[in-house]
Structure 1
């Protein structure tokens, strides 16, 4: 079990009082890279993948990384080279995965709102399967497949009405959710899809939420899926694949995190007897602990409830606290003295929104303007959710490997953004083919 916080966890440690990612001083990176920036550890990502692979691989489960967690192509390439597949939710993520060298045959396309153009691109690329989430989407996939002369491999995502007991905005499998098809309707819809010549019905899928710490919801959901597969097969339906989604939480802010061997055992105990090709789709678990957001303390401000620290990273750079009430641990780049007494700091960002705040923090030592801090557990849903709100630069990303680092996404500054807004030529819409109705001015009689 890795150790969270100031003492480090192998790839993250203080050396002579200076915070290091692997063998690279973060202060030295900050000299070359203006803050804020994300920094990832290549070896931490590898270690997470190998730990999960060792746990689930022994029961024949394959892994697809949820690209939405971190879509940087250097990160995707690193995982792909380890043998990891990809779970995507947009056409853009498909292009990123392909650009990273991921074989199309190891890509699964999830999501409730795929366009026909995205479906066509995925089928032409030859992806592993499309996880469909409504009867209407099944009809659209069949229509596209027919038009391009392809047979579409599909799995139906079931909604088992299982509460993952996490934040409401990352719970995806209750009956009120937009995701999936009610589990009681899946067998009938699957049978109809299997009868269509344009479709190859290959299995069922489930995903109940994100940052799940309690294993009980997984057991309930997987048991429900096992019962579903058994009942479908009793009807004569062929169900060779089972995609059980992601959602494994990570250790953060003092929480030990879920036991990955216990998670693997639940998969084995609930669905291992089915003989299905089983896939899991973790995102945060593979990369969340492997990244930091480095920021500079701009100002200190005295407040009634204690000192406020205003940093140069904002909710546009790290959205999770504002969106999910998430609390990311903070590490000073210079280790505080153990005997040093210091106040509790409320850290906020520069964005013109009251929700641009990161939380209350103890144990940071005595801070001064110009100090550098790192928001921990920032490798997932950090840079991938970043924006240019308030016309701020789009945050840069850095990858560390051993004693070296490199930029893997350069900062997009305002000059580059303004180029995207250069006005084109005025165009007059072509008239409709139908006869134009006489135009009557408003207010005329």
Structure 2
């Protein structure tokens, strides 16, 4: 059996890097092609890494998702899952578009309210919420997803003291995932429905929700169908306002072309990673889009062969959906400055590019995986870079005409701090001072796992919008 040191020292085979080319929104393409000097200036002034957030693309995604549900014949309320990105600008966009926000902590709720989202458009989720979050949610009329009978009793006591009525969803375990740590069992749900009727002066049961891992449209539709039946049952048992079914998130994002993704899955192996790292799973970067999945969920046949949306309409049910990543698709990117390049091509077959920053700002490793879309190389000085490359070409016999293979490391003292474990095939040698642009990082990647390790400041977020008339970019710091 290999020790950890032996695994780290094992020399990987020399392989040609696989291309995993990221899809690019036209606005992102415009920024990278026409306004690269602005991006360089922002990084000079604000530091590396720098997150660039693009709320106009978020707004476009909201409109696209609304259309998808409308075309499927499903009445739906969209709540942006705030946990997917901490930037204030997205909450402001949600308020302007009239959609809600899903929160799971008191600070998230405070930021949603401060961003202009009214309480009745805010959903409060998360297991076994504390009394402070309950109190703020009740005061502002938020919709609270309750996970247990004990939480339901605590929420009722809070509402009684506030002389208000709390509006609630009961979160239930589904038949497909009965072992989830979130939600009530069937017996607990039965008891909770009865308790809601008893506590009617302080609790208004509005419907049911559930939690699912994964992106299977059929499984989510089946779970939603179960919740419709729970609503019908709750009405019979004294809760006439039970008309909402919250299907959660689970709307995927397509980062790369499906054909590129299929080729990657076919050819991928440990030899393509630093230290022959063997990842067991990846996000489905080339899967269906959020709009396609939304339609698939709503059009999925349920009991009697009717679609889920048709059954919902027949029973007076309105859906709630809580997309996070799906609304952030293409709505941000992350820039790193190259700090050093350790060229090991003659020995190991690839270089190690060290950037100013760490993998904490690209959070896929939180899921024990690698962020696979290729970063883009933005040379610091295109003319000097070309001259340097030409000089290197005259002397670099073995590497002439080939890509520059490199993985990307963070600048911390952790052996595991690899921003990208996979060997990237850069089109030319990477140099100190260049920038690497990781595209489509707004959904969970930017700040789910950030840390002031080594006393480093947390990266800043620059909000950029292109002027409608001139196309000129305007920027500000998020939160200001």
**TM-score computed with the length of structure 2 as normaliser:** 0.74
Deviation at 1:363, TM superposition (A): 3.4
Hey, what does 1:263 align to over in structure 2? 294
* Inter-partner Cα distance in structure 1 for 2:329 and 2:407: 23
Kindly indicate whether residue 178 of structure 2 is the aligned counterpart of residue 175 of structure 1. Answer: yes
Kindly indicate whether residue 170 of structure 2 is the aligned counterpart of residue 156 of structure 1. Answer: yes
The answer (yes or no) to whether the contact 2:58–2:328 under 8 Å persists in 1 is yes
* Inter-partner Cα distance in structure 1 for 2:148 and 2:172: 10
- In terms of mean alpha carbon deviation, does 249-258 or 138-147 score higher? 249-258
Kindly indicate whether residue 138 of structure 2 is the aligned counterpart of residue 114 of structure 1. Answer: no
The answer (yes or no) to whether the contact 1:11–1:43 under 8 Å persists in 2 is no
Q: How does 1:220-259 map to 2 (within 5 A)?
A: 220-233=222-235, 235=237, 237-238=239-240, 239-254=242-257, 255-259=285-289
Deviation at 1:217, TM superposition (A): 2.5
Kindly indicate whether residue 394 of structure 2 is the aligned counterpart of residue 363 of structure 1. Answer: no
The answer (yes or no) to whether the contact 2:355–2:408 under 8 Å persists in 1 is yes
Quickly say closer, same or farther: Cα 1:383–1:237, change in 2 above 3 A.
same
Q: How does 1:209-220 map to 2 (within 5 A)?
A: 209=213, 212=215, 214-220=216-222
- The correspondence for 1:395, drawn from 443, 459, 473, is 459
Q: How does 1:85-100 map to 2 (within 5 A)?
A: 85-100=100-115
Deviation at 1:159, TM superposition (A): 1.6
* Inter-partner Cα distance in structure 1 for 2:230 and 2:255: 35
Hey, what does 2:25 align to over in structure 1? 9
* Inter-partner Cα distance in structure 2 for 1:20 and 1:361: 28
The answer (yes or no) to whether the contact 2:254–2:287 under 8 Å persists in 1 is yes
* Inter-partner Cα distance in structure 1 for 2:131 and 2:48: 40
Deviation at 1:107, TM superposition (A): 0.5
Structure 1 spans left out of the alignment, 5+ residues: 163-173, 412-445
1:75 counterpart SS class? helix
Hey, what does 1:206 align to over in structure 2? 210
Deviation at 1:24, TM superposition (A): 8.1
Deviation at 1:236, TM superposition (A): 5.8
Answer 1 or 2: higher relative contact order, Cα 8 Å, separation at least 6. 2
The answer (yes or no) to whether the contact 1:209–1:246 under 8 Å persists in 2 is no
The answer (yes or no) to whether the contact 1:7–1:14 under 8 Å persists in 2 is no
Deviation at 1:291, TM superposition (A): 1.1
Quickly say closer, same or farther: Cα 1:307–1:117, change in 2 above 3 A.
same
1:13 counterpart SS class? helix
Kindly indicate whether residue 354 of structure 2 is the aligned counterpart of residue 318 of structure 1. Answer: no
Aligned residues: 390
* Inter-partner Cα distance in structure 2 for 1:229 and 1:68: 28
Deviation at 1:282, TM superposition (A): 0.2
Hey, what does 1:344 align to over in structure 2? 405
C-alpha distance after superposition, 1:79-115 (max 9, x if no partner) = 2201111111011001101111111111011011311
Structure 1 or 2: more helix by fraction: 2
Quickly say closer, same or farther: Cα 1:278–1:96, change in 2 above 3 A.
same
Hey, what does 1:438 align to over in structure 2? none
C-alpha distance after superposition, 1:3-53 (max 9, x if no partner) = x946732112168xx5467x9853343344322110012221121111001
* Inter-partner Cα distance in structure 1 for 2:196 and 2:231: 16
Kindly indicate whether residue 312 of structure 2 is the aligned counterpart of residue 299 of structure 1. Answer: no
* Inter-partner Cα distance in structure 2 for 1:124 and 1:190: 23
Deviation at 1:393, TM superposition (A): 0.6
Deviation at 1:290, TM superposition (A): 1.2
* Inter-partner Cα distance in structure 2 for 1:111 and 1:219: 22
Deviation at 1:410, TM superposition (A): 7.8
Structure 2 spans left out of the alignment, 5+ residues: 1-19, 258-284, 300-306, 387-399, 467-471
- In terms of mean alpha carbon deviation, does 75-84 or 92-101 score higher? 75-84
The answer (yes or no) to whether the contact 1:72–1:408 under 8 Å persists in 2 is no
1:205 counterpart SS class? strand
1:275 counterpart SS class? coil
2:67 counterpart SS class? helix
Hey, what does 2:86 align to over in structure 1? 71
Deviation at 1:148, TM superposition (A): 1.8
Quickly say closer, same or farther: Cα 1:81–1:308, change in 2 above 3 A.
same
* Inter-partner Cα distance in structure 1 for 2:162 and 2:120: 18
1:155 counterpart SS class? strand
Hey, what does 2:267 align to over in structure 1? none
2:308 counterpart SS class? helix
